[in-house]
Structure 1
Amino acid sequence: MIEAAKIWNEPNNKSHWDLLIDPAWAMFANLALAAGKAIRSAHPTLPRVLGGISPIDPSFMRNMQARGVIDHVDAVAVHGFPLDWNLWQIGEWPAKIEEIKAVISLPVWVTEVGVSSFGAEEVQAWGLSRTAELLIGRAPRIHWYSLYDLPSTWEATTRHKEAEGSSYYRHFHMGLLREDGTPKAAAELFGQYAPDMGLCQWFHFEDHRLDDAVRWMRRFGVRHLRTGLSWADSFRPNALDWFDRQMDALAEFDVTVTFCFTPEHRGLEPHHTSPPLDVNEFADFCAQMVERYCTKTGVASSLTTPPLREPTCVP
């Protein structure tokens, strides 16, 4: 079941949007407007969420409001990692949400929040409990990032790379489960907070962890999941077969699907962070995925008060 469509990921972070090409986000605004309209046309009630921002910046939201984007989404989202990357303390979470609420009159979702076990598993476990204490009841959706550690042979999706120093390697230790699938200390606690706290887990193309992830989410009692369908991956051979398999495996959960990543051959620059040559191509991809995985039944419930069970969207 798809409960929401998310337009891009961290558009104000250079790891996900090329700020040298589009420093004022005019191109991103055009992309978001086109996608918001296309999703609404494809499904009249499916909630649209603006890609989670990182850093949490009210001025970015004011920019999007001035460019008309906020009129074509139903919620906005924020991402925060105060124990790993942000220059603020974990206790500031309520204030950070209020900063966005002060400028945008839409629900504010927390679609990525997490703590790495880079320093110690005990730090991650404490951070999970403290995050739950601070956010449950304050945001209609909370997605813990993530279920799995990033495999050490993969590359983190960041343009900073090793220039971050030790911060880069924290990307590989964000999971409740280690790379080999064994649970960390935080995993023993997570079930206490599900389903009030969902998960964010990105599945790479033909990801070997998909079926095991479903078993773990059932064990934890997870209801809400955030994942992605990559526009760039849609050009791979057998892409729809993989998308179908992924969405079928996740059908029992309420899934927020993030649409993002520019195909290299369709960007102003050959990189997944590049603004596309034609924003309507991205919008068409969003609409096609919504039409493929959603049925136009039911009326979406209020975004401010869980549960959000409609519309029914299945493979």
Structure 2
Amino acid sequence: MNPSATSPAGRSFGFVEWFRPGEYERTERLLPDILKSGANSLRTHLSWAEYLAPGGEAWFDWLIPKLGAEIDLLPCIHYTPPSMSRTGRSNGAPQVLKDYADFVDHVLTRYGRHFRHVELWNEPNNLLDWDWREDADFQLFCEMVGGAAYWAKQRGWKPVLGGPCPFDPMWLNLMGERGVLGVVDAVGFHGFPGTWDSEEGSWGGWDMHLGEMRQILDRHNAEAEIWITETGYSTWRNDEMEQARRFMKALQVPADRLYWYSFADVPPDVAVQEGLWFDPRHYHLGAVTHENQPKLLARLLMEGGIERLRDVTRLATPHVATGAAPIVITGGSGFIGSNLAESFLAEGEDVIVLDNLGRPGVDQNLAWLTERHGRRVHPVLADVRDLRGIEAAFTDAKAIFHLAAQTAVTTSLVSPLDDFEANARGTINVLESVRKAGRKAPVIFASTNKVYGALEDLEMLPMDDRYVPADQAVRDFGIGENRPLDFCTPYGCSKGVADQYVLDYAKSFDIPTAVLRMSCIYGPRQFGTEDQGWVAHFLIRALSGQPISIYGDGKQVRDILHVDDAVAAYRAVHAGISRVRGEVFNLGGGPQNSVSILLVLREIERLTGRPLEIDFGDWRAGDQFFFVADTRKLEDQLGWQPRIRWKSGLSHLADWLTEHRFDGRAPIRDRLRVTA
């Protein structure tokens, strides 16, 4: 057993995943990640109806051996072929009840070497899976499943009775009185606390329901085990932290086996069950999205198993004392957010760090803050897209810095709806939470220079290693706030919409707001990727000896700003909010910190003492040839100016990455000390 798969009680866990006929590629894609998560078992269905449909036999001939070779497999055998059903539907009893047992016997003969247990039917008291209107006393069901279970047990396999949903102790006791419980080795239980409205009135807690179940089993088959064959939590409101917490709670449940439903979300074009298209909760139960992007639960399991998940889910919201007026930083575990939080915490402020921990590495920033400042750090692990989940965090806030966002242009092009939800709706949720609190706390928003579009009207003069604007004023000072907005790419649109809403709330609702349209920020606590945080990403690749991909020719120019200077700018706006409410400022390194990508790469080569392997690709959508922020407005009105020059800042970041990302490996560290 994989040690990372064990729960705090020492029990392993598994996932539920229904694979539909023909999903060869999806199966090949999901299985390695299921194994990587630490799961050591998998529950999937083997549909009798699908098996007898055209192509069904070939599909299961491929699927069952494929899965069984990699993981402890539990096939759930259910769904009557409509042509053999008494009702003409797959949830009806077969016309000849023994046909089901014969099919189970066929499955055991054909595939039995790939599993030890076999589940007989799914949710038999649920009308969608078993038509109890045609079998009101479950006599047909008991005869059908009881015979199949008896024969499977005689042949050496361990039958599992499908879990009732919702749980019904009277139904389970009937199974005992009819003799079904006496011929099974385990009974399934389904429970989704917190997800379905239908459970709110009937859910009594794991201990109560499993206690009832154990009492019934002890009367009819004391040796039968209790398996949680389905439990889960839907992230339809984007509350991924709550899903991770529910998973940890499920691991504490006193059952003999646990299956989490499910590993992957259902694609939006697939009907979950007839009549259930309308309910979004059915489509967001996975640990990964339908596009196989890990949610927080899957990411933590893949990074470090249960121990990693436990460490992160232990983070809770400590009580903020009555009368305290904390500072709220959304995205407070991120790169800029954690540095900003540190600056306030160092002065004795209480800081609410509101973050969904969605980006890899940011939980390390939160751990760093809590280790340094203890109970003055108040983590609220929620998503700004979840209005109900974040409102309370703003109740007593005296200032809000809204940095939480989807930050990559490339991601916005792949998933524009998700980008809109995070950036536009998330910002409205923050503003409305502040308005509801009624304290008129200032809101300072992190916008982007992408709201100015690709700047295609600016004439550029190509030099050897950079582009230079033909306009002398732009060359001398950069792009000012009077530049017309020109939203480009879904990311530019979503941030631009948010930018304008923040400014309007100062006009419409008298909330003191300000906007900082940022250029490229870099520095310690940044976990850069190819899509966002390019300066840190280049250094990480260089320090690890990996090639670097450049999109375009590398002559594009940016004004890079060290995070310490960025924090100082946010602090200056906060301190002067009464004078600058409703204002927008460009924030970047300015002309003195303007660099081309090629120039940064050249300096990284000097710092690391090794040549870089560079690949050049096509230009990306909306990429600007040149952007340097004109920061004179910020300087004139608030006295701010950048203090860290880019070469010094780059050396500082390289040293920090070597220490914290690469464990201070001596060869690189010595080389940095010599060349910096």
TM-score normalized with structure 1 length: 0.58
Equivalent-residue separation in structure 2 for 1:191 and 1:94 (angstroms): 17
Native 8 Å contact 1:229 1:259 kept in 2: yes
Q: Which amino acid aligns with 1:80?
A: H
Q: 1:254 deviation in Å?
A: 1.0
Instruction: Please give the residue correspondences for 1:152-167 in structure 2 after superposition, counting only pairs within 5 Å.
Output: none
Instruction: Please give the residue correspondences for 1:250-269 in structure 2 after superposition, counting only pairs within 5 Å.
Output: 250-251=253-254, 253-260=255-262, 262-263=264-265
Q: Which is helix-richer, 1 or 2?
A: 2
Native 8 Å contact 1:94 1:138 kept in 2: no
CA deviations 1:167-211 (Å, max 9, x no partner) are: xxxxxxxx5536xxxx663343468527x4322222113351433
> Kindly tell me: are residues 188 and 231 of structure 1, through their superposed partners in 2, closer, same or farther at Cα, counting changes over 3 Å?
same
Selected match of 1:216 from 212, 218, 238 = 212
Equivalent-residue separation in structure 2 for 1:189 and 1:50 (angstroms): 27
Q: 1:73 deviation in Å?
A: 1.9
Q: 1:126 deviation in Å?
A: 3.7
Selected match of 2:98 from 91, 101, 120 = 91
> Kindly tell me: are residues 243 and 77 of structure 1, through their superposed partners in 2, closer, same or farther at Cα, counting changes over 3 Å?
same
Q: Which amino acid aligns with 1:25?
A: Y
Q: Which residue of 2 aligns with 1:113?
A: 121
Native 8 Å contact 1:147 1:176 kept in 2: no
Native 8 Å contact 2:192 2:233 kept in 1: no
Native 8 Å contact 2:78 2:120 kept in 1: yes
CA deviations 1:83-108 (Å, max 9, x no partner) are: 84476744242543433642574125
Selected match of 1:48 from 41, 48, 58 = 41
Native 8 Å contact 2:235 2:243 kept in 1: yes
Equivalent-residue separation in structure 2 for 1:142 and 1:293 (angstroms): 34
Q: Which amino acid aligns with 1:212?
A: M
Equivalent-residue separation in structure 1 for 2:301 and 2:230 (angstroms): 11
Selected match of 1:243 from 237, 242, 247 = 247
Native 8 Å contact 2:77 2:121 kept in 1: yes
Q: Is the partner of 1:10 in helix, strand or coil?
A: coil
Q: Which residue of 2 aligns with 1:277?
A: 291
Q: Which amino acid aligns with 1:113?
A: W
Q: Which residue of 2 aligns with 1:300?
A: none
Instruction: Please give the residue correspondences for 1:1-315 in structure 2 after superposition, counting only pairs within 5 Å.
Output: 5-12=13-20, 23-36=22-35, 38-39=36-37, 42=38, 47-49=40-42, 51-55=44-48, 57=51, 58-64=57-63, 69-82=67-80, 84-85=91-92, 89-92=96-99, 93-99=101-107, 101-102=109-110, 105-113=113-121, 115=124, 116=130, 117-118=132-133, 119-123=135-139, 124-138=141-155, 140-149=157-166, 177=170, 185-189=174-178, 192-193=181-182, 196-206=184-194, 208-209=203-204, 210-219=206-215, 220-221=217-218, 222-230=224-232, 232-233=234-235, 235-236=238-239, 238-248=242-252, 250-251=253-254, 253-260=255-262, 262-263=264-265, 271-272=283-284, 276-278=290-292, 284=299, 287=302, 291=306
- Any gaps of 5 or more consecutive residues in structure 2? 1-8, 52-56, 86-90, 125-129, 219-223, 270-279, 311-676
Q: Which residue of 2 aligns with 1:167?
A: none
Q: Which amino acid aligns with 1:110?
A: V
Equivalent-residue separation in structure 2 for 1:205 and 1:191 (angstroms): 28
Q: Is the partner of 1:34 in helix, strand or coil?
A: helix
> Kindly tell me: are residues 2 and 81 of structure 1, through their superposed partners in 2, closer, same or farther at Cα, counting changes over 3 Å?
farther
Equivalent-residue separation in structure 1 for 2:260 and 2:192 (angstroms): 13
Native 8 Å contact 1:30 1:279 kept in 2: no
Higher relative CO (Cα under 8 Å, sequence separation at least 6) belongs to: 1
Equivalent-residue separation in structure 2 for 1:259 and 1:213 (angstroms): 19
Equivalent-residue separation in structure 2 for 1:230 and 1:71 (angstroms): 26
Equivalent-residue separation in structure 1 for 2:146 and 2:27 (angstroms): 35
> Kindly tell me: are residues 138 and 127 of structure 1, through their superposed partners in 2, closer, same or farther at Cα, counting changes over 3 Å?
same
TM-score normalized with structure 2 length: 0.31
Equivalent-residue separation in structure 2 for 1:50 and 1:87 (angstroms): 24
Q: Give RMSD over aligned pairs.
A: 4.3
- Any gaps of 5 or more consecutive residues in structure 1? 13-18, 151-174, 296-315
Q: Is the partner of 2:114 in helix, strand or coil?
A: coil
Q: Which residue of 2 aligns with 1:156?
A: none
> Kindly tell me: are residues 177 and 244 of structure 1, through their superposed partners in 2, closer, same or farther at Cα, counting changes over 3 Å?
farther
Equivalent-residue separation in structure 1 for 2:120 and 2:308 (angstroms): 23
Native 8 Å contact 2:19 2:27 kept in 1: yes
CA deviations 1:146-174 (Å, max 9, x no partner) are: 34547xxxxxxxxxxxxxxxxxxxxxxxx
Equivalent-residue separation in structure 2 for 1:289 and 1:218 (angstroms): 34
Percent of residue pairs bearing the same amino acid type? 7
Q: Which amino acid aligns with 1:31?
A: L
Q: 1:279 deviation in Å?
A: 5.6
Equivalent-residue separation in structure 2 for 1:54 and 1:226 (angstroms): 21
